[in-house]
A and B are shown apart, each in its own frame.
Chain A
Amino acid sequence: MDVLERYESLVDDFDAFRAACDRPLPSVVRVNTLKTTVERAKAALTEADIAHEPVGWHDGLFALPDDQPGTNWPYVLGWIHGQEEVSAVPAAVLDPQPGERVWDACAAPGSKTTQLAALMDDRGLLVATDNNLGRISALRSNAERAGATNVAVTHEDARNHSLKPFRAPDSDVREGAPYDRALVDVPCSCEGTIRKNPDALDDWELDHVEGISGVQKGVLRRAIQTTREGGTVVYSTCTFAPEENEAVLDHALAEEACELVEFDLPLDSTPGVTEWQDERFDDSVERAKRIYPHHNDTGGFFCAKLEVTAE
């Protein structure tokens, strides 16, 4: 079936959307500011004769029109990390600060984890969780290559995440303090990655979308529960399906103490949708942002910012 056709009613200029989805994306790298500066990374790319172009909205992101990252000096030194452009959005929206306690709920393979560590200037506690040991190995390897020292990696189902390992030294309290911020970049049907991976939709099934939506709801709820009142939770996916986006937010709004908040994004986007098929969602889901491939010539993405409120 043609998966993307189901979104024709949501997308402006559907033909442009379809055309953009058929075009491949260049490799993009993010400069790892834990190990170097953007200026030196640029100099090292130039020295290695690797063409690089700024993406415009983010100082540390460069498109490599002719190259893949991996076999050059800046990569070997951990100065650059391959990361699709829109994938840099949620960590920037979360905006973690040095010294805070932050949870990356679905962390592997670690692109966003290392970006969070850099935004925190490697200070504070960044707990990075994944439920798959193979993916945790990639996560650890990427965190180490980035030189991050504030990352604690846990192997567990994020829906049952425990704060117990992160008690203060010699504390009598069983649980660690709640987080200041949490990033919930959940596993999803990945429709928005079609430009990087043309096979992304080959195994698409509505059953899978609906099943994974249950997991997404569980992870987002746990993130809200483990974040302090006034703290920030960012929810993101790389898919267009409202079942995995607005419906998950609507569920969290109904079940947990939180609200959706407005945020600025230096990329073109459209608001979250309040209606999909037979469902109607809370009006505030409009504060979420849908990023379509034809708007900024990127992959597709969905991002929402929540504030945790009093019970």
Chain B
Amino acid sequence: MSDGDDASSAESTPANDGTRFDRLPATADERVVEGRPTREEVLDWWDERFAIPPETFDGHTFWERGSGKIWAFADDVDSPVAVEGLGLAFLRTRREHWKPTLEAVQRFGDSADECVIYLSREAAATFVAGDDQELDWDGDWGYLIVATEIAGESEPVGVGLYVHGELRSQVPKGRRREL
């Protein structure tokens, strides 16, 4: 077994080891593992897609485990680390369109100003049940934060995929509820 430090030849690029958590490099200059997103890219993505300010994540370190599954962790430890969980799984990368998790959106989504679709309570219940629905939306297509009003304020509920006039529920099976 070898790790990045043992790679001596120029053509040998360390691969992602999906069994452990590796801290994301701060910037592209520090990237060693091919295809691994950087902290800077992750912060930019949340900012550009949802207008969530980068400082929202000042207290968090970012880690990759599996292929492109990014976790946000409130502390810092030496990388890599082989444990079963490190903070909150909050973003899927290494695909054409990055996708936030329901948990990330519920936890950080109240800072979002863009790509947030506000649903009536009834439409939100349809979404939580895992059902798709036809809706008007004049913003960007793609992954949206789905919000509804609970106890007098708008609350982020989960992630929807908006394409062709349809909001497709991305609520994972284990999180669906008939309300």
Residues of A within 8 A of B (CB): 34-35, 40-41, 43-44, 47, 70-78, 122-125, 128, 136, 139-141, 143-145, 147-155, 165-171, 176
Complex contacts, A70 vs chain B, CB 8 Å: 177
Q: Which of A71, A144, A153, A169 has the most CB of B within 10 A?
A: A144
Asked if residues A35 and B178 are in contact (CB atoms below 8 Å), the reply is no
Closest 9 CB pairs of A and B: A153-B85, A150-B74, A147-B107, A43-B151, A153-B84, A167-B78, A44-B151, A149-B74, A149-B87
A76, B82: Cα distance in complex, Å: 31
Complex contacts, A35 vs chain B, CB 8 Å: 106-107
Complex contacts, B75 vs chain A, CB 8 Å: 123-125, 150, 152
A228, B84: Cα distance in complex, Å: 25
Complex contacts, B153 vs chain A, CB 8 Å: 40
Asked if residues A78 and B106 are in contact (CB atoms below 8 Å), the reply is yes
Asked if residues B179 and A140 are in contact (CB atoms below 8 Å), the reply is no
A47, B73: Cα distance in complex, Å: 33
Instruction: Name the residue on B nearest A78 (C-beta).
Output: B106
A91, B82: Cα distance in complex, Å: 27
Asked if residues B76 and A143 are in contact (CB atoms below 8 Å), the reply is no
Instruction: Name the residue on A nearest B153 (C-beta).
Output: A40
A73, B128: Cα distance in complex, Å: 10
Contact A76:B74 (CB < 8 A) given known A123-B59, A147-B103: no
Asked if residues B87 and A152 are in contact (CB atoms below 8 Å), the reply is yes
Residues of B within 8 A of A (CB): 23, 59-60, 72-79, 81-89, 103, 106-107, 128, 150-153, 155, 157, 174-175, 177-179
Asked if residues B150 and A73 are in contact (CB atoms below 8 Å), the reply is yes
Asked if residues A141 and B174 are in contact (CB atoms below 8 Å), the reply is yes
Whole-angstrom distance between the Cβ of B22 and the nearest chain A Cβ? 12
Complex contacts, A170 vs chain B, CB 8 Å: 78
Asked if residues B88 and A148 are in contact (CB atoms below 8 Å), the reply is yes
Asked if residues A149 and B72 are in contact (CB atoms below 8 Å), the reply is yes
Contact A77:B87 (CB < 8 A) given known A71-B178, A149-B73: no
A171, B60: Cα distance in complex, Å: 19
Asked if residues B157 and A76 are in contact (CB atoms below 8 Å), the reply is yes
Q: Which of B74, B83, B89 has the most CB of A within 10 A?
A: B74
Whole-angstrom distance between the Cβ of B128 and the nearest chain A Cβ? 6
Q: Which of B89, B150, B151 has the most CB of A within 10 A?
A: B151
A167, B82: Cα distance in complex, Å: 12
Complex contacts, B87 vs chain A, CB 8 Å: 148-152
Complex contacts, A153 vs chain B, CB 8 Å: 83-86
Extra contacts, 4 of them, besides A123-B75, A143-B88 (Cβ < 8 A), are: A41-B151, A145-B175, A154-B84, A165-B81
A70, B175: Cα distance in complex, Å: 10
Q: Which of B75, B87, B153 has the most CB of A within 10 A?
A: B75
Asked if residues B60 and A149 are in contact (CB atoms below 8 Å), the reply is yes
Whole-angstrom distance between the Cβ of A37 and the nearest chain B Cβ? 10
A40, B178: Cα distance in complex, Å: 22
Asked if residues B86 and A152 are in contact (CB atoms below 8 Å), the reply is yes
Whole-angstrom distance between the Cβ of B75 and the nearest chain A Cβ? 4
Complex contacts, B174 vs chain A, CB 8 Å: 141
Whole-angstrom distance between the Cβ of B115 and the nearest chain A Cβ? 20
Whole-angstrom distance between the Cβ of B84 and the nearest chain A Cβ? 4
Q: Which residue of the partner chain, among B72, B73, B78, B157, contacts A168 with CB atoms under 8 Å?
A: B78
Whole-angstrom distance between the Cβ of B63 and the nearest chain A Cβ? 10
A166, B83: Cα distance in complex, Å: 10
Complex contacts, A47 vs chain B, CB 8 Å: 150-151
A190, B79: Cα distance in complex, Å: 39
A3, B102: Cα distance in complex, Å: 45
Whole-angstrom distance between the Cβ of B40 and the nearest chain A Cβ? 18
A136, B85: Cα distance in complex, Å: 9
Contact A140:B177 (CB < 8 A) given known A147-B103, A149-B72: no
Instruction: Name the residue on A nearest B71 (C-beta).
Output: A149
Asked if residues A167 and B77 are in contact (CB atoms below 8 Å), the reply is yes
Asked if residues A72 and B179 are in contact (CB atoms below 8 Å), the reply is yes
Asked if residues B88 and A144 are in contact (CB atoms below 8 Å), the reply is yes
